[in-house]
Amino acid sequence: NENNLLKELFPTLTNRQLEVMKDFSLGMTTSQLQTKANCSRTAIEKHLADLRAEFGCTSSNEIRTIFLNKIVIKVLQATSKNK
């Protein structure tokens, strides 16, 4: 299950933070995020600011890098176990 995997990789994040982080990392804009989450631009910007603080990032693009790196590492670990 995708949600369980994300919770395993990022246990300190709320479900909303995980959703915003995932969708942002996969290329959604702030506008698209607010439409999908049905919330204000301010709320999305707050989630991104909270994520930057959580990971010690200076830019939102660093959030994307952290997310994608953790996913890639998890996939590589899983595939190496199956060999």
Q: What DSSP letter does each residue of 23-63 carry, written as one string?
A: HHHTT--HHHHHHHHTS-HHHHHHHHHHHHHHHT-SSHHHH
* Contact yes or no for 34/46 (Cβ under 8 A): no
51 has a pLDDT exceeding 90:
yes
Contact 50, 16 (CB under 8 A): no
pTM greater than 0.85 (yes/no): yes
The CA dihedral of 16, 36, 21, 58, to the nearest 10 degrees, is: -110
Give the Cα separation of 80 and 83 in Å (integer). Answer: 5
Say whether pLDDT at 83 is over 80. Answer: no
pLDDT confidence tier of residue 52, bands split at 50, 70 and 90? very high
